[in-house]
Amino acid sequence: MSRTGSSMSCRNGSIARPMTLASIAVVLAMAALSGCGFEPLHSRLGGAEAARLAEIKILPILDREGQILSNFLRDRLTPLGAPRKPKYFLSIKVTENQVSLGVRADEFSTRANLNVVAAFNLHAADGSGRKFSGQATSTSSFNMLSSSFATLSAEKDARERSLRQISDEIKSRISIYLGRVR
C-alpha cells in the first residue's frame, strides 16, 4: 500500500493563517495611508478632476518641439477641445540641447543624449495673481548611425519620447496644484 494521500494533504489552518495575516497587513497599510492625508491623484476628492484640467487654455508654443508638446498636452488636459471660458492660461518655453557620447577613435560620435527642458507658467485668467510655475526636464538617448536618415529618425523618436514624458509630468504637477487650490 502506498501513502500518496498523506503526502498530498495539508492542514486547513496552515493556509488560513498566512492569508489572514496578509489581509490584516493590507488593511493596516491602507489605514496608515489614509491617516497621513494620502489621497489618490485623480479621485473625485483628491487632485484635480478632468473638468478642472479642461479649464486650462494652452497658449501657442514656439518651434516644432513646442507644437508637439502642445499636442501632447491637449490630449492630456483638454481632450474635448479648447475651453470657451478658460480659468487658467498655460504658457511654456521649450529648450533642448544635444550632448554627444560614445566617441570612436576617428572622433565620430555613436550615441547622443537629447536634453529637453520645458519651463511652464500657469496663471489665473481672472487676474487674481494666482500663479504656478515650474520646470520639467527629460533626457533621451539615441544612436548616431552612418545613415543620416536613420540618425534623424532616431533623434526624432528621442525628442517625441522626451516631450511625451514632459507632458505627463506637467499634467501631474498641475493636477496636484489645482487639487490644493480648490
State the pLDDT at residue 40: 56
State the pLDDT at residue 46: 42
Averaged pLDDT score across all residues of the chain: 81
Assess if residue 100 is contained within a domain.
yes
State the pLDDT at residue 116: 96
If one counts the domains in the chain, the total is 2
- Are 59 and 130 in the same domain? yes
Assess if residue 42 is contained within a domain.
no
Assess if residue 45 is contained within a domain.
no
- Are 29 and 110 in the same domain? no
Starting at the edge strand found earlier in the chain, the sheet holding 88-103 runs 56-58, 88-103, 109-124, 131-143
Assess if residue 59 is contained within a domain.
yes
**pLDDT grade, residue 139 (50/70/90)?**
very high
- Are 30 and 101 in the same domain? no
Assess if residue 40 is contained within a domain.
no
**Confidence (pTM):** 0.71
What is each CA distance from 60 to 67, 125, 133, in whole angstroms? 8, 16, 17
pLDDT at residue 141 tops 50: yes
**pLDDT grade, residue 168 (50/70/90)?**
very high
Assess if residue 19 is contained within a domain.
yes
User: What is the maximal distance between C-alpha atoms in the chain?
Assistant: 90
- Higher pLDDT, residue 5 or 165: 165
pLDDT at residue 181 tops 50: yes
State the pLDDT at residue 171: 93
Give the whole-angstrom CA distance, residue 26 versus residue 174: 31
Torsion of CA 106, 108, 111, 117, to 10 degrees: 140
- Are 66 and 13 in the same domain? no
- Are 129 and 82 in the same domain? yes
- Are 21 and 102 in the same domain? no
**Segment 50-73 mean pLDDT:** 91
- Are 15 and 57 in the same domain? no
- Are 85 and 22 in the same domain? no
CB 69 within 8 A of CB 165: no
- Are 12 and 83 in the same domain? no
Q: What is the tens place of the pLDDT at every residue in 74-132?
A: 999 988 888 899 999 999 999 999 998 877 666 677 889 999 999 999 998 887 877 99
How many other C-beta atoms can be found within 10 angstroms of the C-beta atom of residue 140? 20
Please give the share of the chain, as a percent, with pLDDT higher than 70: 76
Assess if residue 43 is contained within a domain.
no
- Are 16 and 64 in the same domain? no
- Higher pLDDT, residue 15 or 107: 107
Q: Is 151 exposed, middle or buried (0-12, 13-18, 19+ CB in 10 A)?
A: middle
- Are 62 and 134 in the same domain? yes
Its domain, for residue 15, covers: 4-35
